[in-house]
Amino acid sequence: MDLIESLQWRYATKKFNPEKSVSPEDLQTILEAGNLAATSYGLQPFQFVVVSDPDLRQQLVPFSYNQPQVGQASHVIVIAVRTDVDADFIRASAKLTEKKRGLEEGQLDGYAKQMIGAIMSMNDEQRIVWAQKQSYIVLANLMVACATLKIDSCPMEGFIPADYNRLLELDSKNLHASVVLPVGYRAEDDEQQSFAKVRKTLEEMTLNC
């Protein structure tokens, strides 16, 4: 199945089959695709929070405007952004690059300074928005990976971050829930799967210059 077919196959699953689980191998592949997402300066200002415990998933339902998917799905992947991106965090990223690329220690100090200048010129709120934007690239990669594996998913912005943060103990880890992706297998009777995909045409969506 090629990419376009996979993207056509994907839909925002409203009802999952709670009996079917995503295998550990497939989950690994999905997260790996997310981890390979491009992020600003390669800083990866996020964390995957994978909720597999059924009780915990059930407790997320009221914090998700009662959308049952988080309770039914095999796993709920919360992409949380880091609220502790600072000069040290950025320097650590440059150090990792030096190490992975066999560079001399300190070779990227100038580059780190440049990144710090760019990222730390934002105020806290702007920096959260910046990180959240990156988290949506990650989200997209997760969805594409799911679709290529014929695993269903449902991207969700409809949840209460403060309650997610509290229940999943994210605050104390300097994390903030950004966007949520239940993954699993569609229920046979999920009506949504038979609905035609709706998109404006590419002609309508494109300006050529």
Q: Which of 21, 26, 35, 89 binds a second copy (CB under 8 A)?
A: 35
| Binders of a second copy in range 88-117 (CB under 8 A) | 96-97, 100-102
Contact of 170 with 80, CB cutoff 8 Å: yes
Q: Does residue number 133 form part of the binding site for a second copy (CB under 8 A)? A: yes
Q: Which of 48, 86, 87, 116 binds a second copy (CB under 8 A)?
A: 48
The C-alpha atoms of residue 189 and residue 182 are separated, in whole angstroms, by 18
Minimal distance, residue 129 CB to a second copy, in Å: 6
The count of residues interacting with a second copy (CB under 8 A) is 65
Q: Which of 20, 21, 26, 40 binds a second copy (CB under 8 A)?
A: 40
Minimal distance, residue 19 CB to a second copy, in Å: 21
Measured between alpha carbons, how far is residue 7 from residues 4, 143, 149, 153, 189 in Å? 5, 9, 11, 12, 21
Residue 79 vs 187, nearer CB to a second copy: 79
Contact of 58 with 71, CB cutoff 8 Å: yes
Kind of pairing, strands 46-51 and 175-184? unpaired
Q: Does residue number 32 form part of the binding site for a second copy (CB under 8 A)? A: yes
Euclidean distance between the first and the last CA atom of the chain, given in angstroms as a whole number = 33
Q: Does residue number 151 form part of the binding site for a second copy (CB under 8 A)? A: no
